[in-house]
Chains A and B, each alone.
Chain A
Amino acid sequence: MADNADTPAETPENEKTIETPPDRESESLPSEPPSLSGVADSPSKTNKSNKIDILLKATGNAPIMKTKKWAVDKDKKIGWIIDFIKKYLKLEPSESLFLYVNQAFAPAPDQIVRNIYDCYGSDGKLVLHYCKSQAWG
């Protein structure tokens, strides 16, 4: 929050990631994206149609995730995804992580994935950018 930078700190490297054609990107991934269900979820409760794929893209100084595409339950909250990324990147609990939609705004941690997907996703896919400092405001 201390970082008040208004402009995204995009590096050419990140742009390349963004421009990577989707099929090339998935080549390196298993055909079924790994599921991002928490341990608390019972398998019977996770209905396949209730899941979407999220594509996580690093921006600015954030480390890149080896696996970018994850299947997520639409009822999950944004804060849950933020916690997941922080754990995956082994960030300290005190470190911040910001998640952006459309490279434009940061949804509240209690916003549910379904709402974001319904407005800004398509074809079962939602692109989210993450960053360790505030990027788009």
Chain B
Amino acid sequence: MANDREVLREIWDGRIPVCFQLDSSEVNGLQAPDPYYLMVPRLSYFPLVTDKIRRHFQRYIHPDKHDAEMWMDFNGQPLKWHYPIGVLFDLHIPEISLPWCITIHFDKFPETELLHCTSREAVESYFMSCIKEADVLKHRSQVVSNMQKKDHNQLWLGLQNDKFDQFWAVNRKLMEVGSDETFKYIPFRLYEGDEPFIQRLVKPVTEEGQRKTLLQFLQEIYAENASKVKVTTHGVEPPTDTPLQWMSEHLSYPDNFLHLCIAL
């Protein structure tokens, strides 16, 4: 079970300063709106923190677009609402200077690049599906399927309302380990540039029963290129001798996946 509580807390408290601006071509009228500044939690999702942004910019756009779905881009690259905010940030780190400047749109939704997000329920169902998938990998789905509906709600509300204790009271069950002190497989996603992320079946221990390090994990995926790989998660580069199991327990996002940004 996760026990380095201070690490969990530090990860939970990660914030990013963002400057939101309306796409200038969508301004209807003479006066352009002021930018909107917000500290956003790394572990959250944009649709959970941008209600205020929508209200702020809505009155400056063409009335026909008032009910249109809002989307955003950074440097011309549409931002996927279903990736945690911290992942989106880490993916673009080399190009970002703080505050992170994001452009808001209500027009020309990029259908081929983004999924639609019509409500918070869409985020909730995506988030819960990730939790279920992670539990299939870690515990053959046994923990999550033995939970009650109220536990599922508590995970979601804990994330949505930024309540660490509420979230972890339930999430600790998802982090429980078997008698061998490990998960069956480690839920992870590897992101490299614009490519679709990589997911594989990886055990937390070697065939000899030793705990795998981050380096051994990278060797499994990238073979001889492993030593050239730079891994970033939560804005930091974990040492390559960090045990993979420990990373899964402490550095996973609330969806219970490790989201690792890769630079080769």
Chain B residues in 8 Å Cβ range of A104: 132-133, 136, 141, 145
Chain A residues in 8 Å Cβ range of B200: 115, 118-119
Residue among A1, A101, A109, A119 making CB contact with B125, cutoff 8 Å: A1
A119/B197 in contact, CB under 8 A: no
* Chain A: minimal CB distance from B152 (Å): 8
A63 to B115: give the CA distance in the assembly, Å.
Answer: 26
A116 to B197: give the CA distance in the assembly, Å.
Answer: 11
Do most interface residues of chain A lie in helix, strand or loop, or is the interface mixed? loop
Chain B residues in 8 Å Cβ range of A101: 133, 136
* Chain B: minimal CB distance from A117 (Å): 10
A1 to B198: give the CA distance in the assembly, Å.
Answer: 28
Residue among A115, A134, A136, A137 making CB contact with B197, cutoff 8 Å: A115
Is A92 an interface position by the 8 A CB rule? no
Q: How many residues of B contact A (CB 8 A)?
A: 25
Query: Which residue of chain A is the closest to B187 with respect to CB atoms?
Result: A119
Do most interface residues of chain B lie in helix, strand or loop, or is the interface mixed? helix
* Chain A: minimal CB distance from B240 (Å): 23
* Chain B: minimal CB distance from A1 (Å): 6
Chain B residues in 8 Å Cβ range of A112: 196
Q: Count chain A CB atoms within 10 A of each CB in B141, B149, B198, B199 and give the residue with the most.
A: B199
Chain B residues in 8 Å Cβ range of A118: 199-201
B121/A110 in contact, CB under 8 A: no
Task: List 16 contacting pairs A-B, 8 Å CB cutoff, sorted by A.
Answer: A1-B122, A6-B149, A102-B136, A102-B141, A104-B136, A104-B145, A105-B133, A107-B133, A108-B82, A110-B80, A110-B196, A115-B198, A115-B199, A115-B200, A118-B201, A119-B201
**With A101-B136, A104-B145 already in contact, 20 other A-B pairs whose C-beta atoms are closer than 8 Å:** A104-B141, A105-B129, A105-B130, A105-B136, A106-B125, A106-B129, A107-B129, A108-B82, A108-B115, A110-B80, A112-B196, A115-B196, A116-B199, A119-B201, A134-B125, A136-B132, A137-B125, A137-B128, A137-B129, A137-B132
A residues sitting closer than 8 Å to B (CB atoms) are 1, 6, 101-102, 104-112, 115-116, 118-120, 134, 136-137
